[in-house]
Structure 1
Amino acid sequence: MSQPDRFSPFETALDRDTALRHLRAATTGADDGELFLEQRRSEALVFDDGRIKTASYDASEGFGLRAVKGEVAGYSHSTEISETALARAVETARLAVGEGGGTMAAPPKGTNRHLYSDTDPVSGTPFAAKIDILREIDAYARDLDARVVQVSASMAASLQEVFILRPEGELVSDIRPMARLNVAVIVEEAGKRESGNAGGGGRFGLTGLIDPTAWKPVVAEALRIALVNLSAEPAPAGVMDVVLGPGWPGVLLHEAVGHGLEGDFNRKKTSAFAGLMGQQVAARGVTVLDDGTIPDRRGSITIDDEGTPSGKNVLIEDGVLVGYMQDRQNARLMGVEPTGNGRRESFAHTPMPRMTNTYMLGGEADPASILADLSDGIYAVGFGGGQVDITNGKFVFNCTEAYRVKNGVVGAPVKGATLIGDGPTAMRQIRAIGNDLALDPGIGNCGKAGQWVPVGVGQPTLMIGGLTVGGSAAR
């Protein structure tokens, strides 16, 4: 990769040699460190109930300087990219290094791979055209069904450009586009109102989302979910078998298992999976991957925020725990290789082990046969919010679309259903794995330690035995 004299496209007097000199001053005697520079532009539009509700544009840039020594990291950031600001940052970063020498970790391996284009989703489509499309979506949703009483359509686009300078002089960069479209509808019948949401996106321009052939199915799906909920009955309560649909229900896997397989939690032994490497932690046939290398996916990254190329990392193989997701610091402290999972929300945040696209591989079972084998339980197709305790894997998830199943027959939709369990137990109680692996449509965000990053999830149809279903109706 070329080594520019200046951190293009930043309009700054900070040249590469000056930046490198200060970075080396900050990391002398350290085990690791880097200078992370970022420029980001983002736009968000919300068309709600027939009018523009929000139209926002944000532009930001800055740097983060980090020096790492053992388990300690010194970090300083600034929105001013200049030698003066960098010199001040060196003083803060040095506090983590102290006296005594360290051994600088080997730099990340380079890559010429590009997982997405450098298209600009923000400026690629005229502002007026975006408003017109949102207005069309609103009108189309109302024309689809007379019961639609409210429509909210939103469009978001961003372009993030990052440069990472290493103490040995290596400079790597990545240009990361992101686009997303979301539609929510509210329907009303006989005085009863229900809502439905659908959307999608990824690392590409808005063109693929704003074509009618793309957004009309999204509107139809939001309406379908709303109408399903309109006829839903109160969910039953009790311990029962549950079948999870493919795709977005993988968010349960992400929360209940994925976070527990991040390196920092396991190094500190605060994860339910700590100390279980090489042991059976899930049912046979269960293989879970975190894969940041899928082209154009929302959770994909060509390089992580430390400069390590993203990887296709196997975490659980045939039920056996075989790997954790690692950033550079935790990998070094655990004596393993980084996996390309060092991610940060922005230049104002330190990197940590984070998921990219986390999914379970498909099995051999026909999804219809899995449902046919469910004698008394719930078929959960969509999920909303949830909570997870990393230390024990216990989770609570709200179902946004679910159905009652008896004797293998899918019955009425149910509302108010919550799934309660713990990740390690749920993984061991998987009884059937479908052959219909699907990834989510590109809507995921993940929070950890106050930082948010885009992610992807996925799974095939699954049957999990013995989950607690919270509801209000008798079985």
Structure 2
Amino acid sequence: MSNASAPFRPFENNFDEAAALGILRDTIDGADDGELFCERKRSEGLVLDDGRVKTASYNASEGFGLRAVRGETAGYSHSTQMNEAALKRAAETARLAVGSGGGTLADAPVPTNQRLYSDADPISDAEFSVKLDVLKEIDDFARSLDARVVQVSASMAASLQEVEILRPEGTRLRDVRPMTRVNISVIVEQDGRRESGTAGGGGRHSLSQLITPEAWKPKVHEALRIALVNLEAVPAPAGQFDVVLGPGWPGILLHEAIGHGLEGDFNRKGTSAFAGLMGQRIAAKGVTVLDDGTIPDRRGSISFDDEGTQSGKNTLIDDGILVGYMQDRQNARLMDVAPTGNGRRESYAHAPMPRMTNTYMLGGDANPQDIVADLKDGIYAVGFGGGQVDITNGKFVFSCTEAYRVKNGKVGAPVKGATLIGDGATALKHIRAIGNDMALDPGMGNCGKAGQWVPVGVGQPSLMIGGLTVGGSQT
């Protein structure tokens, strides 16, 4: 069975391009900016839980969003009906928000031929029966590794998003964005105690890269390793400790506690903890943070953003100095800076806003083993689960999925129930060591903002941060 279909060509099959351009120009007459964003997305998801198919889904959607922007106000209307009549109705709605006259049309984004990933449909990489067989093989293999495995959940997802953007100056931009992911969760039991471990990843590439035994077996081993570590975990201490973060996925703390605070809209409105600090030291020396949407095949990468601006490799913090924010077109214009290719939206039904792509900290020169050896009394946090952050003050709370007690430089027992509590601005300044082992996450991040979800990437080297509050079970 194949789910392949003809390429998405809205201006050949749904709209007369000249008519659509005329409606768009009428919509933004007197406004500062706007665009017609057309999208078709197809996705497939399979979940095998405890040897049984729990979910098998296929979804398809298409539609358009029409936007007119004037100053701080944006009018946005969207529809699943891809025809000229629906476009005219949308134009009437979008114009209501911007009124008439007074605007000066912003400079158009520079067209790009940048392509960072394949346009092949990953859903069609393998037959449905083959995908189910792979999930069953994962289940069987996990159970064969250890008699303590009592439950296995394996999931596989693939999607293809096709977009075309029509700009008022007449430019058309087209992008085809694949996405794949495999995720494995293992539950083990010993002496009546159950613990779990999860591993997975993916990116903007074919599904075939993830469903070979060479690709998924390491993920099974990793999920099982984490579950077995947690079987030995003791209650986490509570108090203030120095903390060493591992490389890669722990960068999710950087993403939440710092990244959101460096998005343009929060800083323009003065609601970010970093507002008004451009050019000032906000982090320890050696801390350099980038947002980079140009890494080939990465989950957070985009050839151009959802307004048509080419994605970029943008430096946010340079050797501890705040040098940039992430910008969409509207906030960049209002702040009198250039857009950075960070205008993203969840779908045609959502207006774009400044969002992260792949956000990471560059490595330093410290040996990771030496960083841990220098930890006198603290926590070594390797894996993270969910977290929350307050943008206005940067305060965060993160739960650890794999962490260890360290005393006098020796890694001791794993701890369970540890949460890290602090604020991004303080944590940045208390970074005491930066490892030479910078790594990106395996491709599993999703970011929520204002009700919209987009795929992202994170990364960092090993770090020592002084004086974080650890919430645990022991005092």
Query: Is the TM-score greater than 0.5?
Result: yes
The answer (yes or no) to whether the contact 2:10–2:38 under 8 Å persists in 1 is no
Equivalent position amino acid for 1:267 in 2: R
Q: Which residue of 2 aligns with 1:433?
A: 434
Instruction: Mark the CA change 1:64 to 1:105 in structure 2 (over 3 Å): closer, same or farther.
Output: same
Q: Does the CA contact (< 8 Å) of 2:47 and 2:55 recur in 1?
A: yes
Q: Distance in 2 between matches of 1:13 and 1:52?
A: 38
In the alignment, is the contact (CA less than 8 A) between 2:10 and 2:164 conserved in 1? no
Structure 2 residue identity aligned to 1:430: I
Partner residue in 2 for 1:3: none
Q: Normalising by the residue count of structure 1, what TM-score does the alignment of the two structures yield?
A: 0.98
In the alignment, is residue 130 of structure 1 matched against residue 131 of structure 2? Answer: yes
| Kept in 1: contact 2:235–2:417 (CA 8 A) | yes
Q: How many Å separate the matches in 2 of 1:33 and 1:13?
A: 20
Measure the CA separation in 2 of the matches of 1:145 and 1:208: 26
Whole-Å separation in 1 of the counterparts to 2:11 and 2:193: 54
Equivalent position of 2:314 in the other structure: 313
Deviations 1:343-396 (A, max 9, x none): 000000000000000000000000000000000000000000011000000000
Which stretch of the first structure deviates more once superposed, 163-172 or 12-21?
12-21
Post-superposition offset of 1:142? 0.3
Corresponding residue number in structure 2 for 1:396: 397
Q: Which residue of 2 aligns with 1:210?
A: 211
Counterpart Cα distance in 1 of 2:278 and 2:162:
36
> 1:142: which partner in 2?
143
**In structure 1, distance between residues paired with 2:10 and 2:124:** 16
Structure 2: which amino acid aligns with 1:470? G
Alpha-carbon distance, 1:12 to partner = 3.5
Structure 1 residue aligned with 2:88: 87
| Matching residue of 2:371 | 370
Secondary structure of the 2:265 match is helix
**TM-aligned CA deviation for residue 99 of structure 1:** 2.2
Once the 2 structures are TM-superposed, how far is the Cα of residue 96 of structure 1 from its aligned partner? 2.0
Output the amino acid matched with 2:253. Answer: L
Alignment partners' CA distance in 2, 1:24 and 1:110 = 19
1:467 CA drift (Å): 0.2
Tell me the residue number matched to 1:383: 384
Q: Check the 8 A contact 1:250/1:457 in 2, yes or no.
A: yes
Alpha carbons 1:66, 1:73 under 8 Å: kept: yes
Q: Deviations over 1:288-335 (max 9, x none)?
A: 000000000000000000000000000000000000000000000000
Compared CA separation, residues 375 and 167, structure 1 to 2 (3 A): same
Match of 2:191 in 1: 190
Contact 2:346 2:452 in 1 (8 A): yes
Q: Verify the 8 A CA contact 2:238 2:474 in the aligned structure 1.
A: yes
Distance between the aligned counterparts of 1:246 and 1:99, measured in 2? 52
**Which amino acid in structure 1 is aligned with residue 374 of structure 2?**
D
Partners of 1:114 and 1:125 in 2: CA distance: 24
C-alpha RMSD over aligned residues: 1.0
Cα distance in 2, alignment partners of residues 372 and 97 from structure 1: 60
Structure 2 counterparts to residues 66-105 of structure 1, below 5 A: 66-105=67-106
Residue matched to 2:425 = 424
Q: Aligned partners of 1:13, 1:292: CA distance in 2, in Å?
A: 31
How far 1:418 moved relative to its partner?
A: 0.2
**Once the 2 structures are TM-superposed, how far is the Cα of residue 145 of structure 1 from its aligned partner?**
0.5
Q: Once superposed, which parts of structure 1, at least 4 consecutive aligned residues long, lie more than 4 Å away?
A: none
Q: Is the 8 A contact 1:10 1:39 kept in 2?
A: no
**Partner Cα separation in structure 2 for residue 368 and residue 40 of structure 1:** 45
What are the within-5 Å matches in structure 2 for residues 227-246 of structure 1? 227-246=228-247
Gaps of 5+ in 1: 1-5
Provide the secondary structure at the position in 2 that maps to 1:294.
Answer: coil
Aligned residue for 2:210, secondary structure, equals helix
Give aligned-pair identity as a percent. Answer: 77
Paired residue type of 1:450: G
Q: Which amino acid aligns with 1:131?
A: L
Once residues 20 and 11 of structure 1 are traced to their aligned partners in structure 2, the CA distance between those partners, rounded to angstroms, is 13
TM-score (norm: length of structure 2): 0.98
CA distance in 2 between counterparts of 1:114 and 1:456 reads 18
Which residue of structure 2 lines up, in the alignment, with residue 459 of structure 1? Answer: 460
Q: CA deviation at 1:11?
A: 7.6
Write the letter of the residue equivalent to 1:20.
L
Which residue of 2 is the match for residue 360 of structure 1?
361
CA distance in 2, matches of 1:192, 1:327: 49
Distance 2:292 2:27 in 1: 33
Query: CA–CA distance in 2 between the matches of 1:38 and 1:430?
Result: 43
Aligned partner of 1:55 in structure 2 is 56
Cα drift, residue 17 of structure 1: 1.0
Q: Residues 191-246 of structure 1: CA distance to partner in whole angstroms, max 9, x if unpaired?
A: 00000000010001101000100000000000000000000000001001000000
Amino acid at match of 1:356: T
State the distance in 1 between where 2:120 and 2:223 align: 28
63 and 255 in structure 1: CA distance in 2 versus 1, 3 angstrom threshold: same
The residue identity in structure 1 corresponding to 2:135 is: L
Paired residue secondary structure (1:368): helix
Aligned to 2:336: 335
SS of the equivalent of 2:124 reads coil
How far 1:9 sits from its partner (Å)?
6.1
Alpha-carbon separation, structure 1, partners of 2:93 and 2:105: 19
Letter paired with 1:54: T
Q: 1:10 to 1:45 in 2, by over 3 A?
A: farther
Contact 1:121 1:157 in 2 (8 A): yes
| Displacement after TM superposition at 1:110 (Å) | 1.2
Deviations 1:16-58 (CA, angstroms, capped at 9, x unpaired): 1111011011011110000000000000000000110000000
For the residue of structure 2 that corresponds to 1:22, the secondary structure is: helix
Equivalent-residue separation in structure 2 for 1:63 and 1:34 (angstroms): 10
- CA distance in structure 2 between the partners assigned to 1:207 and 1:184 by the alignment: 20
Matched, 1:411 2:387: no
Provide the rounded CA distance (Å) in 1 between the counterparts of 2:11 and 2:139.
Answer: 39
* Equivalent in the alignment of 2:271: 270
Partner-residue secondary structure (3-state), 1:96? helix
Letter in 2 for 1:438: A
Counterpart CA distance in 2 for 1:405 and 1:455 is: 31
**CA–CA separation in structure 1 for the residues paired with 2:176 and 2:125:** 15
Could you say which residue in structure 1 is the equivalent of 2:19?
A: 18
Instruction: Quickly say closer, same or farther: Cα 1:346–1:51, change in 2 above 3 A.
Output: same
Which residue in 2 is equivalent to 1:33? 34
2:134 & 2:405 partners in 1: Cα distance? 38
Task: Give the secondary structure class of the aligned counterpart of 1:218.
Answer: helix
Aligned residue number for residue 3 of structure 2: none
CA distance in 1, matches of 2:278, 2:113: 32
Q: CA deviation at 1:74?
A: 0.3
Secondary structure, aligned partner of 1:95: helix
Paired position in structure 1 for 2:348:
347
- Structure 1 residue 7: Cα displacement: 6.5
CA contact (8 A) 2:11 2:17 kept: no
Shift of 1:125: 1.2
